[in-house]
Structure 1
Amino acid sequence: MHKKIVFSLMILLFFSLILTGVAFAGEDVEGSSDHPLISRFSGSYIIGYERVSYDEYILALDAIITESINEGEALAEHEVVRGSNKRFPAEHKKLEGVVTKITYLAPEERSSLEIFRNYEMELKSAGFEIIYQSSGDEIRYYGDWHGRKYPYELDFARGYNRHTYLDAPENPRYLAARMDRAEGDIYVALYVHTANRFAMAPSTGAKAKIQLDVVELAPMEEGLVSVENMEDDLSRSGKVAIYGINFEFDSAQILVDSHAVLAEIAELLLENPELRLYVVGHTDDLGSLEYNINLSEKRAKSVVDFLIDNHQISTNRLVPAGIGPLAPESTNKTESGRALNRRVVLVEIID
């Protein structure tokens, strides 16, 4: 009888551990989130996440090639070492901007094709253009190249074997996509493959891995914000919309790529010592009204503080304000429209 009780308790403990492992494995890693433009595949969860406010990224636009390394050969920035060989995309594009990398595990019953097609349709419906797409042997070593070129921490303890990420993909599929935006283009690299679930981890039930990388570029065209342009707009309409001031996602922290635009605003104020301005923050309508108004107020204040602290503009010449989504420039039904609505507007104060 005693042995039976012990055996039953062991069985209960075994299944308890399995169920706990499954539940724990299905949770996103701490500090991670979906990219606001692209939702996750249903039932998947995040095991790896990284977001960098400004960095470079090599976007693969063709097959991954393997070649021998010559003695003393220096590698190019888009090449990685694999044993005595080097691997690199036959064609690539170097990007710079906000880089977000998300690694998902998907439910066991979902194929890489089903996952890939769902993402493909979502990207197209959001306004992205597919600029390269492939599957099979041509991009089999994408994970190996990507993982060595841009390694970042993955939560392997909860159900993922690095070997499947780098070396052993099954049914691999890849696409690169681009969407034009007023404040800078967005690029997406999507890599999906399946693997034996025991190569992932038996307790997770996972079979497919999704690697989603999103790069948000700073505006490529320069000279759009100048003292002359701002003076013309202020003279004509009493206000000027500024699209070159960028912030951390969900934050009032100003990105480095905004400093040149802020320097132009400071120059405008220095050349016109009698000029006083309302600095008005605007957002799109994603989220609650209260949240967006609060965020726009904080961002406007960040701009004012930056001009005062870094360019010695008098405090009585700038008044921050935020109105969130209440004065849209365009429709909030499309990403391009929402991009136009996210801006800072300078309004002349008439005494």
Structure 2
Amino acid sequence: MIRQLAVWALGSCLILPPLPLWAQAQSGEAAPLRLPDGAIERSQRETALGTYALPVGAFGAGGIPLRLQEGHILRRTWHLSGDATVLQVLDVLRSQLVQQGYEILFQCETRQCGGFDFRFGIEVVPAPDMVVSLSDYHFLAAQKPVITEIESDAVQTVSLLVSRSGSATYIQMIEVGPQRQPQLALAPAETPSAGSPPVQKSNPASDLKDLLEQQGHVVLDGVVFETGAETLSPEAITSLRGLAGFMEEQSKAQVLIVGHTDSVGGLEDNTSLSLRRAQMVKDALVSALGVAEGRISIAGAGYMAPIASNLTAAGREKNRRVEVVLLAR
């Protein structure tokens, strides 16, 4: 009864930042999702057609269970000042989703989710638009069926990530629904002639920037280690030029370098080794590529966040990696 009164009190004074129009139309003009009074929108990112890895389970030995959801993607974030707890905010939004016909697929709080490993294994909008405290966050995934002219069994999914950091509560909502735009028209087939201009190579800094903004963290390609090793090869240092270029382009960006290992050896030794690997990358960025030392933090996760099976040589090689996490820009 006390919980019901608390939720009613929080929900009795809400503003109306509506769900996108396509969501309302596909759900039979359902009431728009309402946010707590005082919530301020921080960002909105829209993808006409893309793929979102929807978490549907907690972090475990095999990583995080993910379901790839393809469609129109809308990523939105808000922050809310005041004393509302993470669960209070989540409960207000969760109740409305259930009323609109959504089925809750999965929900968890910090420890149940998997703490650090879950947070850095899911998509999070970069700071300062979204801030996630590793000691206080809740996650929820839900879906409901929709009917379109093209598909009769389509689904619409939504994920909510709510976290409290300092005196503010941060909210992230990622919605994936049916494709809204027609497929792109195909150009006539052409045979390249001898005088055709060369294909322009992509800019590593731009590619890295796009990935960091979309995912919040990226594995540094080219930075590889043998089991137990921590030395960077000249090729690995060269591969860091993309990150250095990004840091030069984004002069206010702050990043976290996280080292990882395979499962050979004990936890304490691997945690120390992963931290040394992160330090080696930081040293290379600072001394060889001119990035300011104060803009780079480091951490070591040991073997606690695998991205592949440690039962195979190929999997262990993938797990011996270094990731960059965008903290601020």
- The TM-score, its normalising length taken from structure 2, stands at 0.37
Pair member with larger Rg: 1
Greater share of residues in helix: 1
